[in-house]
Amino acid sequence: MRTSTIAITAVALVSIAASIASAPPSLKFVSMGFSIAPLTAGLSATDYMPLSMSLPAAEDGFTPNVSVVIQPLTESMEEYRANSLRRLKDAGWTVLGEGFTTNTEGGTDDAKALVMEYEGDAGDGMVHYYAKARTRRGNIVLATASASALGWKEHATALKTCVDSLSVDGARKPAENAPPAKPLTP
């Protein structure tokens, strides 16, 4: 009887360990009291939005939000910056600030992040954007916050803090034959 109990316990422990090892780590939202496992795409997946978060809508009905997009990058960050600035200006948007920062996160293969802040008329009113782009082994990881001009005044600190927290781990290889990253657009 003792041998069968030990065998059953061993099988149960191995099953539990296997299920724990295969489950991705959860995203923990401590201030909101929950965690959830992220959706994961294959290592070669690019040009998708793995994360989108929003705050309650402002008085004007616009929902302040932050999203993260992963795109293949086939140009230098300097070229990505120049193309983004050109597209924003061509669309009539005002660039409020932009520039590169040094990477202070350990273990990554990118040397800098591009940060841009811009606003313009989106048809239904003025929209304010704040974005941070980092390279990750041939891809660009872009976090973007947006809010109406009214909502930006109220939520700027929270939105910018969220975007500024973006870091990359450099663990993903670039996709082969992937389309180039799209410069920032309104």
Full pLDDT tens readout for the chain, 186 residues: 555 545 454 444 444 444 444 556 777 888 888 888 878 777 667 778 888 999 998 888 999 999 999 998 889 889 999 999 999 999 999 999 999 987 555 444 445 799 999 999 988 889 999 999 998 878 899 999 999 998 999 999 999 999 999 988 754 344 444 444 555 555
Domain coordinates of the chain in residue numbers? Answer: 1-38, 39-186
pLDDT at 145: 97
* CATH no. of 39-186: 3.40.1000.10
Cα 3 to its chain centre, rounded Å, is 51
Return the structure tokens found at 38: 């992220």
Name which of 164, 103, 176, 111 is nearest 138 in CA terms: 176
Prediction pTM value:
0.73
pLDDT at 138: 83
pLDDT at 104: 54
Q: Which residues contact 171 (CB under 8 A, 6 or more apart)?
A: 136, 137
DSSP of 118-138, one letter per residue? Answer: EEEE-SSSEEEEEEEEEEETT
Angle at 117 between CA 92 and CA 172, to 5 degrees: 115
pLDDT at 3: 53
pLDDT at 24: 64
Name which of 144, 99, 93 is nearest 120 in CA terms: 93
- By the 10 Å C-beta count (0-12 exposed, 13-18 middle, 19+ buried), 159 is classed as buried
Name which of 53, 59, 54, 52 is nearest 125 in CA terms: 59
Query: Phi and psi at residue 159, in whole multiples of 5°?
Result: -65, -45
